[in-house]
Structure 1
Amino acid sequence: MADSIEKRAENHRVPVRFVTRAMVKSAFTGHERNKHEIACVLAARFPELASKLPPKRKCWQSEDYRMSLFEAAALGVAYFARFAKRTSNPSTKNPAP
């Protein structure tokens, strides 16, 4: 599936970046044990997500649907941690007055 997405994106000249689970975990060094730990870090970093943080699940429970919010946020944080450094332009950080 990823290959077909990449091929279609190339046909339309849309840049594609793949972010693996390992990249997401590396963006949260020290808190990469499980999804709930990463979600807690995100809730602390983005207070608007704190009210959406589900309780830690028991091993017999299914995953709370709200975890998808934190997975998306973690993906975004990992993307910017990995790729934003390459695309940032130093001249736009401090524009002239």
Structure 2
Amino acid sequence: MARYVLEGEWSGYSSSQRRVVHRETINERRRARYEGRGRLFAVRFTDGTMLELSVRPVRRGEKVETLLGYGSLISEAEASTATCFQVRPISGSDEAA
């Protein structure tokens, strides 16, 4: 079975702040969610920053260094039908729940 690397790069507030904050290996079935037109490619935050998602094949002999900083957020975004998932701020009533 083919393996792929899903990377999330945080855009930061300026170009000098761009960095990879999420990396994991995924299978063919999950990769299909990112292929083709109209598929998920970014998670946008209300502060103007963005987590840009990309998928590439694992290179032969490559050991993928896993960074799971945004795994649950990415899973939630994958479950939505949007191509760009908007993260809303937490309100006072949400924090109490």
TM-score tier, shorter chain, comes to under 0.3
Question: Taking structure 2 as the reference length, what is the TM-score of the superposition?
Answer: 0.26
More strand by share: 2
Question: Taking structure 1 as the reference length, what is the TM-score of the superposition?
Answer: 0.26
**Higher normalized contact order (CA 8 Å, seq sep 6+, divided by chain length):** 2
More helix by share: 1
